[in-house]
Amino acid sequence: MAKFGIALLWLVSCLSQAQTQILLFADHPIDIHLSQETLNANILNALEQHADGQLHFSYQLVPQNRSWRMLEKMPACLINQIKTPERQAKAYFTHFPLTLYPPLRLIVAQATATSWPAEFTPASYNLPGNNLIGLVKGRSYGEALDIAFAATPQHYFVRGGTEPAERTLDMLIAKRISATVDYSRSVRVYLDEIQSPFAFKAIPIAGENSAVAGFIACSKDNQGKAMVEALDMAFAKDAMLEDYIKFHRAFFGDEEGAFLEADIRARHLSLKASH
């Protein structure tokens, strides 16, 4: 009986050691009550399930701009990060994204939409008067947009802190800024959440015609590398792919979901080929 007890303890210890514990930094709370509106949470929950108990996530609320500094000091990961050369020098990125979004849009009040161009070109469009576009501090909008925004900082109000995207939308609703750059679906979800009647228009941005991938980025150390490998192993499973597509269709609707599906399947084939 004593030998059996020792063997059982050894087995439990081995299983515990095999499980990859991942601390995720996020600038907004991760929903624990799952629905079709909780894309991040649905996918993270599915990753745990398809990893057969080998993945476990915990969460810490950290502003986006501070989370990258913390990543240099401790083993952890960030969610929905756009890959840039600068960031890839500081972190290991998953091969497969946590989420895929339709292109970014310029979000303006419907009441002021006629004063904006049909397509917004950040590099050449001069804002009239005291108009400001709200951006999120520490967030990358992709290399081309990051460069364009940095070239004319006087046009932008940069919001930091926790839940900065939501607070930026609050500023737009309150007419403290004239526009923001975000995903139209994210804006709709937030307005529904706060039950706001605010009407908005999503204006296309020049050059932004492709899906935007938000990856999981982990600390640039051995633990971070192991986290990324464990995540990609779970992402590579065919059952995970079908859940991933299902969650994106539920979140974005059939039209946008179909737009994303070809990209998702191509990325999954690339992931499986790399493993």
pLDDT digits (tens, 9 = 90+) for 215-230: 999 999 999 999 999 9
Give the pLDDT of residue 16: 47
Structure tokens at 236: 């590579």
Q: pLDDT, tens digit, for every residue of 61-113?
A: 998 888 999 999 999 999 999 999 999 999 999 999 999 998 999 999 999 99
**Measured between alpha carbons, how far is 122 from 138 in angstroms, rounded to an integer?**
19
Answer yes or no: is pLDDT of 213 > 50. yes
Give the pLDDT of residue 73: 93
| Site of tokens 């087995």 | 11
Give the pLDDT of residue 34: 74
Answer yes or no: is pLDDT of 2 > 60. no
> What's the 3-state SS for the chain?
CHHHHHHHHHHHHHHHHHCEEEEEEECCCCCCCCCCCCHHHHHHHHHHHHCCCCEEEEEEECCHHHHHHHHCCCCCEEEEECCCHHHHCCEEECCCCCEEECCCEEEEEHHHHHHCCCCECCCCCCCCCCCCEEEECCCCCCHHHHHHHHHCHHHEEEECCCCHHHHHHHHHHCCCCCEEEECHHHHHHHHHHCCCCCCEEEEEECCCCCCEEEEEEEECCHHHHHHHHHHHHHHCCHHHHHHHHHHHHHHHCHHHHHHHHHHHHHHHHHHHHHC
Give the pLDDT of residue 166: 96
Name the nearest CA neighbour of 165 among 176, 179, 180: 180
**Mean of all residue pLDDT scores within the chain:** 89
Name the nearest CA neighbour of 137 among 128, 146, 129: 146
pLDDT band for position 10 (50/70/90)?
very low
pTM: 0.75
From residue 263, how far is each of 22, 95, 157, 174, 217 by CA, in Å? Answer: 27, 14, 33, 37, 20
Give the pLDDT of residue 275: 75
CA 230 to chain centre: 19
The pLDDT > 70 percentage for the chain reads: 92
Q: pLDDT, tens digit, for every residue of 27-39?
A: 888 776 677 778 9
**Measured between alpha carbons, how far is 171 from 159 in angstroms, rounded to an integer?**
10
Answer yes or no: is pLDDT of 207 > 90. yes
Task: Report yes or no: 140 and 84 within 8 Å, Cβ to Cβ.
Answer: yes
Answer yes or no: is pLDDT of 25 > 60. yes
**Measured between alpha carbons, how far is 236 from 50 in angstroms, rounded to an integer?**
10
**Measured between alpha carbons, how far is 58 from 247 in angstroms, rounded to an integer?**
21
More confident call, 17 vs 252: 252
Least confident of 9-23, 216-230, 231-245: 9-23
Give the pLDDT of residue 20: 93
